[in-house]
Amino acid sequence: MRITVIGCGYVGLVTGACLAEAGHHVVCTDIDGERIAQLQAGGMPIFELHLEEILASTRKAGRISFTPDAGEAIRRSETIFICVGTPPRESGEADLSAIDHVARQIATEARSPKLVIEKSTVPARTGIELRRALTAYTRNADLSFRVASNPEFLREGTAVEDFFHPDRIVVGVEEDSAAAEMREIYRPILEHRFHCPVHNGLCPPGKDAEFLVTTINSAELIKHASNSFLALKISYANVIADLCEKIGADVEQVTHAMGLDPRIGRQFLQAGLGFGGFCFPKDLQAFVYLAAAVGVDFDILKAAERVNKQRIDKFLEKVRKALWVVKGKRLAVLGLAFKANTDDTRFAPALEVVKRLIDEGAHVHASDPEAILKAKAVFPQVHYYEDPYEALREADAALVCTEWECFRKLDWERAGKLMARKLVIDGRNLYSPQRMRELGFEYHSFGRE
């Protein structure tokens, strides 16, 4: 099929590249001309595992192209994915102005009927407004627009794998014809008719994805309800960690045992510095806002948000308690990205930690395998090192902020010889407290004192 993707941010690029890899012909456009020029020249604006190779192979096969001309992109396909940003406003409400702008572009530039698919995360009822806007903005009364919601459940860092091996594909539609078209788009995935770029064609056996057809409102709600539930789960684990500290229990033992119950599940019970990124914090806020707007009490989500914000305070309390005086100390921050396997630092707990340390007069020396460039743009005064051991040299303490595998595998015996003081404050519970103490470290983590 021919498919247009509007918005070449994270979601748009992954969606466009993976759909092209699955055999479709994709044209991508973006309001940011520089980004399009970079993509046209073979550049890669984001770091995501496997994405660069997929873009290279689909470009070579002539199945993906980039244009700054939205009109041309819109006219080239009957099926359009909207993948633009929906950032939070001050109130927590999602800012839908980019969706509105794209609706106007589609309505004025289209010369034939279109199926317009919301891929951006949007509050419930956006699809209905989108269809109304498309009809209102067009000057050609004979043109028809159908709208579908197709929420994405991709995780940064494993987005390509998630795309090709989803648990579920949710499509919210108003007409059977739209559901049939959506199924056609995802047929290669549903029938495993693709060369898997992650497993090089040798995918491990797994459960087949469920293709769920719902109403548009339900599809939109599924996305917010899923992300908010996961965020709630993390905050729950974090409160358990606080309890463990007070009572004298080990949060890893508690959450491990809890997670073995299939009704609870093991994932997203990792206590620590809390969640960040451009999805959970904003989706939680938008969901709370939506619930309040329709008069539904969703205070448990507000509590989850509050608990998450307090993680940074609790981490810094540990830092202050261990160091006594923070001002003037040389501190090695390990990890800047909001989680491992991404260069994304948006709403990263690590950056908030860095900001507060700078405010308190510490000298911050930081390391991250992918996110240094992005962090440098925000905090040019920090000293950055590709090599974590260089960040640790002469440090008064190591502060672990992101769960990168390379940090998990650090040789602390070696690091200990480089540091001015053998002190580690671990915001991600990466190491065994016993092992760290055996190595002569003063070691603090969450819920395991």
Number of residues that bind ligand UGA (CB under 6 A): 22
Q: Does 445 bind ligand UGA (CB under 6 A)?
A: no
Residue with smaller CB distance to ligand UGA, 105 or 121: 121
Burial 217-238 (b: 16+ CB within 10 A, else e): eebbbbbbeebbebbbbbbbbb
The token pair at 345 is: 């630092």
Q: Does 275 bind ligand UGA (CB under 6 A)?
A: yes
Q: Does 284 bind ligand UGA (CB under 6 A)?
A: no
- Residue range at the interface with ligand UGA (CB under 6 A); choices 79-87, 107-115, 266-274, 289-297: 266-274
Binding residues for ligand UGA restricted to 402-431, rule: CB under 6 A: none
Rounded to whole angstroms, the Cα distance separating 48 from 37 reads: 19
**Positive/negative CA dihedral, 286, 290, 295, 297:** negative
Residue positions counted in the chain:
449
Write the CA distances from 420 to 90, 394, 439, integer angstroms: 42, 4, 15
**Smallest gap, in angstroms, from Cβ of residue 274 to ligand UGA?**
5
- Residue range at the interface with ligand UGA (CB under 6 A); choices 17-25, 50-58, 277-285, 386-394: 277-285
Binding residues for ligand UGA restricted to 93-132, rule: CB under 6 A: 121
* Placement of tokens 């202050």 in the chain: 320
Q: Does 314 bind ligand UGA (CB under 6 A)?
A: no
**Smallest gap, in angstroms, from Cβ of residue 334 to ligand UGA?**
14
Beta strand pairing call for 363-367 and 168-172: unpaired
Binding residues for ligand UGA restricted to 209-228, rule: CB under 6 A: 227
Rounded to whole angstroms, the Cα distance separating 78 from 412 reads: 57
**Positive/negative CA dihedral, 397, 403, 408, 414:** negative
- Residue range at the interface with ligand UGA (CB under 6 A); choices 256-264, 274-282, 284-292, 405-413: 274-282
3-state secondary structure of 428: coil
The answer to whether residue 8 is catalytic is no
**Smallest gap, in angstroms, from Cβ of residue 256 to ligand UGA?**
12
CB proximity list for 252: less than 8 A, separation 6 or greater: 271, 429, 447, 448
Interface pattern 228-257 for ligand UGA (x via CB under 6 A) = --x---x-----------------------
Q: Does 154 bind ligand UGA (CB under 6 A)?
A: yes
Q: Does 397 bind ligand UGA (CB under 6 A)?
A: no
Residue with smaller CB distance to ligand UGA, 127 or 277: 277
**Smallest gap, in angstroms, from Cβ of residue 50 to ligand UGA?**
15
Q: Which of 244, 279, 401, 406 is flagged as catalytic?
A: 279
Q: Does 338 bind ligand UGA (CB under 6 A)?
A: yes
Q: Does 368 bind ligand UGA (CB under 6 A)?
A: no
- Closest CA relative to residue 2, chosen from 54, 105, 73, 106: 73
Rounded to whole angstroms, the Cα distance separating 431 from 409 reads: 9
Ramachandran class of 23: left when φ > 0, alpha when ψ lies in -120 to 50, beta otherwise: left
**Smallest gap, in angstroms, from Cβ of residue 14 to ligand UGA?**
10
Q: Of residues 3, 20, 269, 399, which one binds ligand UGA by CB under 6 A?
A: 269
Residue with smaller CB distance to ligand UGA, 155 or 355: 155
Residue with smaller CB distance to ligand UGA, 137 or 268: 268
Q: Of residues 21, 30, 48, 156, which one binds ligand UGA by CB under 6 A?
A: 156
The β-bridge partners of 398 are 332, 424
Q: What angle do CA 195, 121, 264 make, to 5 degrees?
A: 80
Whether 269 and 254 have beta carbons less than 8 Å apart is answered as no
List contacts with ligand UGA (CB under 6 A).
121, 152-156, 227, 230, 234, 268-270, 272, 274-277, 279-280, 283, 338-339
Q: Which residues are catalytic?
A: 279
